[in-house]
Amino acid sequence: MSLNRHLSKGRTLARTAGDHAADMFAPITLIGRGLRRHAEWAKGRWQATPKDRRGPTLFLCAAMVLGIFLLPHGPLFTLVGLMASAAWVGRAPKAPPAPPEPDVAEVKLTALYAALTPYLASPDDLSPLYGNENGFRTAFGSWEFDGDGRLTELELAYPAYFTDTEPAARARIEQVVQGKAGRAREYRFDWDEESNRLRVSALAPLATDIAAQRFVTAPGEIVLGFTDEAGSRRMIPVTQAGVSAQQPPVIWRTGPRSSEPHLLALGATGHGTSTLIRSIALQALPFADLVLIDGAGTGEHACLVNRPGVHTVETSLHGTLAALEWAAQETARRLTALNAARHAGTTPPEDVTRPLWLLLDHPTELSELAHAEGRPDPQDLLETPLRHGRAARVTVVIADDIEARDRITPTLRATTRARVVLGPTTPEEGHAALGAPLDIVPAAHAPAGRGYARIGTAAPVRLQVPATVDPLDDEAPAQLRDAVIALLPHRDTRTEAAAPAAAPVAPPAEPVRRAGEQPAGGLDDLTGDVLAERPVELGKEHTPVRPRPVW
């Protein structure tokens, strides 16, 4: 008999013995499984019992065991009942283990690979990188997911014949990737055209709890908002949620040495363009004079009316035209005075060196009204301040709706090279507003004040405008309103209680004097225990010398 036959016969005998042993020990296995399940049930009930009730429960169980032991044939009946119960409970086989959950990367990357295939595959390609026969591992180099199963990093390759230099082709790929990875976040797309590789990174949301405050900046610097660490080389201290923190700002440098002296901000309605105007106004007031035009007429800038340093806040077409005509004449006067001082070698007068800011909120609405009435376009009156504002210390800031971009004059678009776009925008709108393509795909839903900024020829960066609410808006949070009120040039009497009035005292008879004549007596001539309260002039510590508008 050969060795193989011996081995085969031995395997058959072992299998038969095992089957007989399993049949013989099946009742014991059944009862053992039931006893194990009874023990697991008892352990679970004991762990679920509160600690203050475990003592009485243990005493009750001991009393039951003692009672069973004292009954005639009690232990025997208890043992038979326990075996029968264990056999009944153990009759069901052990539950099979739950199937493992599918790998998140396998599911999502397979779907993303299938979605990219129609755009990155060609029927003429003999060895396609994207195809139905291939898997995502042939095209995706590396990837990373967070704890919630969302894609955070991805590097993929694309064929050399893909037109990666065309913005439309790029936009299609970016839209597909964002749709499969999640539209609730922003993604940065880094196209490596030399290596035919694309790196996708999910960006963390920017902080939205930074309120209006005094920022640590140099003279002439304006904090437009805050960005991420990749968008700024600078950090400034801010008060965030009641604590001090360091945040990277988006700085706009103004003044005669600025390469971008004027700013154009576009955005969707209700996404923070007026908030940006208020933030810039509060930062410029300590060192400049303001002329503010509220073209929408919503009254969101009424908190600046009659404030020291604010020439006027206009909402009507007549007042706007008068204010802008004065601004054009003031720009010419400043240029003349500065040129005369340079030729004479003297110091320029203070009223021409103090910066003047022209802030216009939705001026295109006034332009349409002016065209309907046959009056000059307010945007045309800005030509002199825009072209000569840097030399004359005149800065123009314009905020308007992104849909009104085509109604902005070419001169205004050409001279405002500092750009801001707020709110959700399409790649085409972002490119037209900023003058450069965005390498960041916006999220589907953006908070107020969220957008992008581009200063001159620099790359666009993310932007979150500080929460600068209207202090006259009762629906705004009180903490944010108080932060704005604290930055206004003088006290706001709406929120500060008036001083308690003193007891009325009959004033002494005062001789009648002519208009403009000063009283002969001084402080010592006043009689009575209580001095008459005189009005206090609220203003800046150093009142600037500046011309006043005559309209």
Annotated binding site for ATP: 267-274
Number of Cβ within 10 Å of residue 8's Cβ equals 11
Q: Find tokens 């450069």 and name the residue.
A: 436
Retrieve residue 33's tokens: 């499984």
Retrieve residue 330's tokens: 């003031």
Binding residues: 267-274
Residue type, 298: T
Q: Find tokens 């004065």 and name the residue.
A: 326
Alpha carbon distance 325, 550 (integer Å): 11
Alpha carbon distance 30, 84 (integer Å): 10
Nearest to 223 by CA among 410, 399, 428, 467: 467
Got the DSSP string for 210-240?
Answer: BBS------TTEEEEEE--GGG-S--EEEEE
Half-sphere exposure of 345 (CA within 13 A, CB side): 0
Alpha carbon distance 239, 211 (integer Å): 8
Got the DSSP string for 295-352?
Answer: TT---TTGGGTT-TTEEEEE-SHHHHHHHHHHHHHHHHHHHHHHHHHHHHT-PPPHHH
Buried b (16+ CB within 10 A) or exposed e, 211-239: bbbebebeebbbbbbbbbeebbeeebebe
Q: Find tokens 């923190």 and name the residue.
A: 245
Q: Find tokens 């440098």 and name the residue.
A: 253
Retrieve residue 23's tokens: 């049949």
Retrieve residue 371's tokens: 């065209």
Q: Dihedral sign for Cα 491, 494, 496, 500, please.
A: positive
Report helix, strand and coil shares of the chain as percent, to nearest 5: 40, 20, 40
Alpha carbon distance 544, 551 (integer Å): 20
Q: How far is CA 397 from CA 20, 35, 80, 373, 424, in A?
A: 94, 82, 93, 25, 21
How is residue 34 annotated by DSSP?
H
